Amino acid sequence: MEAKAVNKYIRQSAKKIKPMLDLVRGKKVDYALNTLHFMPKKAAKTIELTIRSAVANLINTDEGAKVNPEELVVKTAFVDQGPTAKRIQPRSMGRAYRIRKRSSHLTIIVAVPEHHDSDLKEKE
């Protein structure tokens, strides 16, 4: 049982988000949220909100209502490059430098651990 949340058009480059994702990938949701909450990076706040959204998406399904949110893990977390806005920065002697304002798309999938799925079936 798993649920997905996608946060699109984040105004931050994928390169800056990836190190924060490496901290939480494969960890329990409680641990991931606690870690991200106290990180001073902008990306940490974005990832935290996306994880909370994925957990809410799972709980709002029929099967997900039976799941304890404390048992969930961050199964998959990745970031893709989004569209780049191109701007011009005036420079000396009439030159113009191009400024690339990068964006990204964040995808997070939370799931119940596999060994836990078999335990639920045995109880029913």
Per-residue model confidence as pLDDT tens digits over 22-35: 999 999 999 999 99
- How many of the other CB atoms lie within 10 Å of CB of 101? 12
Q: Taking all residues of the chain, what is their mean pLDDT, rounded to a whole number?
A: 90
Q: Where are the domains of the chain?
A: 2-123
Give how far Cα 34 sits from Cα of 39, 41, 83, Å: 9, 14, 31
Per-residue model confidence as pLDDT tens digits over 76-113: 999 999 999 999 999 999 999 999 999 999 999 999 98
2-123 folds as Ribosomal Protein L22; Chain A (3.90.470)
CA 2/CA 114 separation, integer angstroms:
10
Per-residue model confidence as pLDDT tens digits over 11-69: 999 999 999 999 999 999 999 999 999 999 999 999 999 999 999 999 998 887 888 88
The single-letter DSSP state of residue 25 is T
